[in-house]
């Protein structure tokens, strides 16, 4: 039967917005940066409710969230993270933890993330590691995983100017450790990992610097946002950056830093995916591939207003480096 009935044509004319893709359309590249708050653990379930675009997550730790363990790895891939240097550089507990997830728990680990902001100070959630120490930890913990076929991300540096020099030093130190005599070898990796806080032009330029420094490598943007901007600016940044990531083939995955309530956000209230009373904001809903909710980030915060952008002392697991301080917005 031909669909060209008058009724069908009328239906199409009445529903153009169902036919045209939205600015921030759905994407299988999207993941969750999981930053739970002990006082609002009921929010955790929001990120695994259907329908959702989220296909993967990380939690800055080697082990998955107990609350997410019933979800098959093939639907919501857990990506273990090494994060920082152990107190002994010979420690191989990251390696054994990941091996045990695979062998004992039957979790199909196919990717790992390595260091988190090793060029950043602890005070801003960085792991503050010397490139030579990081190289030793990499050789002990990451190379054996690569030999098992696991894909590995280069350390995720801050968006500040120290990132690329840190990575170059790290790679050269790592090469020294794996080279013997005349047999020169390099440490290898499967994708570069990028963090950015600032505007879209800065993000695109930062990604361009990484592409130039590491030609032909896939890229994951594992933390990004425009911090402390008004709602319209923040939403426009969200739409533009998501669209950009979706169109670039070399961008394999991305994860928006914002899976928390606006009243505890250290990127400003408008970057949060949850309102102060725990409902998805427009950005939160768009990121999951749903329709706007119309919930303002400030909903539920009327009684006390927002605190300043000074991060609380307890942000150890939340790795925001205020790139804006260094490069301006
Ligand atoms: C968790 O939420 C409580 C209550 O809103 C807040 O005081 C605290 O700063 C939050 N913790 C983090 C790490 O954001
Ligand atoms: C593990 O996941 C990868 C990537 O999705 C897939 O190719 C592979 O077949 C899976 N292995 C097992 C044992 O399920
Ligand atoms: C190692 O990396 C350096 C810098 O990228 C490159 O010049 C060199 O050819 C590489 N060596 C090997 C053996 O791949
Ligand atoms: C990058 O990939 C392109 C296209 O596949 C190729 O022509 C070029 O030689 C590659 N460059 C490097 C540095 O590997
Ligand atoms: C962002 O995209 C959504 C559709 O996904 C659209 O409704 C909204 O107007 C856009 N906002 C801006 C500021 O571009
Ligand atoms: C969400 O918003 C509604 C009001 O629209 C409110 O009653 C509710 O407490 C909020 N929080 C959660 C977690 O649903």
Q: Which atom of ligand 6 is nearest to the CA of 43?
A: 13
Q: Is residue 314 part of a domain?
A: yes
- Chain segment 189-209, per-residue pLDDT in tens: 999 999 999 999 999 999 999
- Confirm whether 175 is domain-assigned: yes
Nearest to 96 by CA among 60, 148, 34: 148
In-domain check, residue 317: yes
Bridge partners (DSSP) of residue 31 are 56, 255
- Whether 224 shows a pLDDT value over 60: the answer reads yes
- Measured CA to CA in angstroms, residue 320 lies from 3, 13, 141, 323 at distances of 53, 46, 25, 8
| Mean predicted confidence (pLDDT) in 54-65 | 98
**From ligand 6's centre to the CA of 101, what distance in Å?**
37
The residue nearest atom 13 of ligand 3, judged by CA position, is 185
Among 212, 216, 249, say which to mutate for ligand 4: greatest number of ligand atoms within 8 Å of CB.
216
Within a domain: 82: yes
- Identify the nearest ligand to the CA of 183 by its number: 3
pLDDT tens digits for range 151-180: 999 999 999 999 999 999 999 999 999 999
Domain annotation covers residue 123: yes
Our answer on whether the CB atom of 184 is closer than 6 Å to any ligand 3 atom is: yes
CB 195 within 8 A of CB 223: yes
Q: Do the domain assignments include residue 328?
A: no
pLDDT tops 50 at residue 277: yes
User: What would the mean pLDDT of 31-55 be, rounded to a whole number?
Assistant: 97
Q: How far apart are CA 51 and CA 15, in angstroms?
A: 22
- What CA–CA distance (Å, rounded) separates 27 from 234? 19
pLDDT in tens, 287-313: 999 999 999 999 998 654 444 443 333
Location of structure tokens 């990992």:
193
Pair of tokens at residue 226 = 């425009």
Residue 1 lies in a domain: no
Distance 278 CA to ligand 6 centre (A): 7
Q: Is 166 exposed, middle or buried (0-12, 13-18, 19+ CB in 10 A)?
A: buried
Domain containing residue 113: CATH number: 3.20.20.80
Which pLDDT belongs to residue 16?
37
Count of structural domains within the chain? 1
* Domain ranges, residue 141: 6-323
Q: Is residue 329 a part of any domain in this protein?
A: no
CA distance 258 to 286: 12
């Amino acid at each position: 039967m031909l669909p060209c009935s008058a009724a069908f044509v009328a239906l199409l004319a009445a529903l153009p917005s169902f036919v045209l893709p939205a600015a921030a359309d759905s994407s299988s590249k999207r993941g969750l940066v999981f930053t739970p708050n002990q006082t609002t653990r009921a929010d955790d379930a929001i990120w695994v409710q259907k329908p959702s675009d989220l296909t993967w997550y990380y939690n800055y730790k080697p082990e998955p969230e107990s609350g997410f363990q019933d979800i098959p790895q093939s639907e919501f891939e857990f990506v273990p993270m090494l994060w920082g240097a152990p107190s002994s550089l010979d420690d191989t507990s990251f390696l054994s933890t990941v091996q045990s997830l695979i062998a004992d728990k039957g979790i199909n680990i196919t990717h790992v993330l390595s260091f988190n902001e090793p060029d950043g100070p602890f005070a801003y959630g960085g792991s503050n590691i010397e490139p030579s120490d990081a190289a030793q930890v990499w050789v002990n913990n990451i190379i054996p995983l690569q030999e098992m076929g696991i894909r590995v991300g280069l350390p995720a540096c801050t968006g500040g100017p120290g990132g690329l020099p840190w990575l170059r030093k790290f790679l050269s130190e790592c090469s020294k450790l794996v080279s013997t005599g005349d047999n020169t070898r390099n440490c290898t990796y499967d994708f570069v990992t990028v963090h950015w806080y600032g505007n879209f032009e800065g993000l695109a330029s930062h990604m361009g610097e990484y592409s130039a420094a590491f030609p032909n490598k896939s890229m994951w943007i594992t933390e990004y946002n425009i911090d402390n901007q008004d709602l319209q600016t923040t939403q426009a940044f969200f739409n533009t950056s998501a669209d950009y990531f979706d169109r670039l083939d070399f961008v394999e995955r991305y994860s928006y830093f914002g899976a928390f309530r606006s009243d505890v956000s250290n990127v400003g209230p408008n970057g949060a995916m949850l309102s102060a009373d725990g409902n998805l904001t427009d950005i939160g809903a768009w990121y999951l591939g749903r329709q706007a909710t119309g919930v303002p980030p400030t909903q539920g915060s009327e009684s006390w207003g927002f605190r300043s952008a000074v991060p609380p002392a307890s942000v150890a697991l939340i790795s925001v480096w205020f790139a804006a301080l260094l490069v301006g917005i």
